[in-house]
C-alpha cells in the first residue's frame, strides 16, 4: 500500500476537488495525508456565525478535521500561513506572500516523513486564479522535487464538464446562469480522470461538515438530488507532467 499526500490552500478546497480520490485511496487501503496551507481566515463569515471568543480560523480548522474524518484522512497538518483572499497584493504573513523556499521546506518535511508516493497540488493557474492556489502549485511541485516524491498530480477542473454541469444546475434550480466559465483546463489537456462516483456520498457529507462555508449559493449544490450530485461531482480531473496526450491514468495510486 502507498501514501497519498494532498496539498490544498484552504479548508473545503480538498473536499470539492479531491474528496473522492482521498476517500477512494482510504477504501483501497492506502495512507491518506491532508496538508492545508491556511485555516481559511478570510472565508464566509456572516454576522452571528461564531460563538463568543471563537475565530473563523478556529471554526474552519475544526470543520476541516471533521471533514477529514469523513474522507478517511489519517493525518491532517496545517502549514500555519494566513489566508490571502483573492487580492493580488496581499498583506505580509499571508500564504501568497510567504517565502516560497520556507514553505517548500515545511511541506518537504511532511513528504519525507510519510515517504509519499503521490502528491496532489493545483494546476499552474490555481484552477481559477486564486493566489493561494497558485502558490500551492509552486510550493508543492518544488517540495516534491526536494523530497523525491515520484508522482505529482495537478488537480484541475474539466472546462467542458463544468459548462455541461452548469446547464444541469440551471435546469435543476430553475434559474438562468451566465455563460460557462473559462477557468479550469480544456479536456484535451487533461491526463488523468478518476471515477469517484462510488464516493460522492462522502463528498457531500464532507462538504456539509464545512458548515460555516455553506452560503445561499452553495446550497444549490449541497441540496441536489443524489443522482444529479453524483453526475456533477463523481469525476475528478488531473494533469501529470509527462503523461498524455489524452487520458492515460484513472487511479492516482495505481
Asked if residue 217 belongs to a domain, the reply is yes
pLDDT (0 to 100) of residue 223: 86
Q: Tell me how far the alpha carbon of residue 109 is from its chain's centroid.
A: 21
C-alpha distances in angstroms, 61 versus 17, 57, 113? 18, 6, 22
- Extract the residue ranges of the chain whose pLDDT is less than 50: none
pLDDT (0 to 100) of residue 174: 64
* Burial degree of 81 (CB within 10 A; 0-12, 13-18, 19+): buried
Please give the helix or strand (H or E) that residue 239 lies within, else none.
strand 235-239
Asked if residue 70 belongs to a domain, the reply is yes
Asked if residue 228 belongs to a domain, the reply is yes
Number of separate domains in the chain: 1
- Beta-bridged to residue 75, according to DSSP, are 33
Q: What is the DSSP letter of 180?
A: P
C-alpha distances in angstroms, 160 versus 4, 121, 134, 178, 200? 28, 21, 22, 15, 20
Asked if residue 197 belongs to a domain, the reply is yes
Asked if residue 250 belongs to a domain, the reply is no
* Burial degree of 241 (CB within 10 A; 0-12, 13-18, 19+): exposed
**Phi, psi at 14, each rounded to 5°:** -65, -40
pLDDT (0 to 100) of residue 185: 92
Per the CB < 8 A criterion, the answer to whether 192 and 252 are in contact is yes
pLDDT (0 to 100) of residue 233: 92
Asked if residue 253 belongs to a domain, the reply is no
pLDDT (0 to 100) of residue 173: 59
Domain span at residue 41 reads 3-240
- 237's grid cell: 480531473
pLDDT (0 to 100) of residue 163: 79
Please give the helix or strand (H or E) that residue 26 lies within, else none.
helix 13-27
Per the CB < 8 A criterion, the answer to whether 239 and 185 are in contact is yes
211-233 CB burial, b ≥16 within 10 A, e <16? ebbbeeeeeebeebeeebbbbbb
The domain spanning residue 64 has which CATH number?
Answer: 3.40.50.10320
**Phi, psi at 82, each rounded to 5°:** -105, 140
Q: What is the dihedral of CA 156, 96, 138, 244, to 10 degrees?
A: 10
Asked if residue 252 belongs to a domain, the reply is no
Kindly report, residue by residue over 51-70, the tens digit of the pLDDT: 999 999 999 999 999 999 99
**Spatial distance between the Cα atoms of 186 and 244, rounded to a whole number of angstroms:** 13
Asked if residue 254 belongs to a domain, the reply is no
The reported pTM is 0.93
Amino acid at each position: 500500500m502507498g501514501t497519498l499526500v494532498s496539498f490544498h490552500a484552504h479548508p473545503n478546497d480538498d473536499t470539492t476537488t479531491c474528496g473522492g480520490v482521498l476517500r477512494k485511496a482510504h477504501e483501497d487501503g492506502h495512507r491518506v495525508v491532508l496538508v492545508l496551507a491556511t485555516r481559511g481566515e478570510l472565508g464566509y463569515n456572516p454576522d452571528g456565525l461564531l460563538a463568543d471568543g471563537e475565530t473563523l480560523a478556529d471554526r474552519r480548522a475544526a470543520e476541516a478535521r471533521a471533514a477529514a474524518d469523513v474522507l478517511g484522512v489519517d493525518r491532517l497538518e496545517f502549514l500555519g500561513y494566513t489566508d490571502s483572499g483573492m487580492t493580488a497584493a496581499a498583506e505580509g504573513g499571508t500564504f501568497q506572500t510567504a517565502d516560497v523556499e520556507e514553505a517548500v521546506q515545511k511541506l518537504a518535511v511532511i513528504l519525507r516523513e510519510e515517504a509519499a508516493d503521490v502528491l496532489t497540488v493545483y494546476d499552474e493557474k490555481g484552477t481559477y486564479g486564486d493566489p493561494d492556489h497558485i502558490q500551492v502549485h509552486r510550493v508543492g511541485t518544488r517540495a516534491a522535487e526536494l523530497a523525491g516524491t515520484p508522482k505529482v498530480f495537478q488537480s484541475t477542473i474539466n472546462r467542458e464538464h463544468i459548462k455541461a454541469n452548469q446547464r444541469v444546475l440551471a435546469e435543476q434550480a430553475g434559474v438562468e446562469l451566465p455563460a460557462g466559465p473559462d477557468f479550469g483546463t480544456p479536456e484535451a489537456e487533461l491526463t488523468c480522470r478518476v471515477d469517484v462516483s462510488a464516493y460522492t456520498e462522502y463528498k457531500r457529507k464532507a462538504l456539509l461538515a464545512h458548515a460555516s462555508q455553506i452560503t445561499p449559493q452553495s446550497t444549490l449544490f449541497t441540496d441536489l438530488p443524489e443522482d444529479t450530485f453524483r453526475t456533477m461531482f463523481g469525476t475528478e480531473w488531473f494533469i501529470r507532467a509527462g503523461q498524455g496526450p489524452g487520458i492515460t491514468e484513472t487511479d492516482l495510486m495505481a
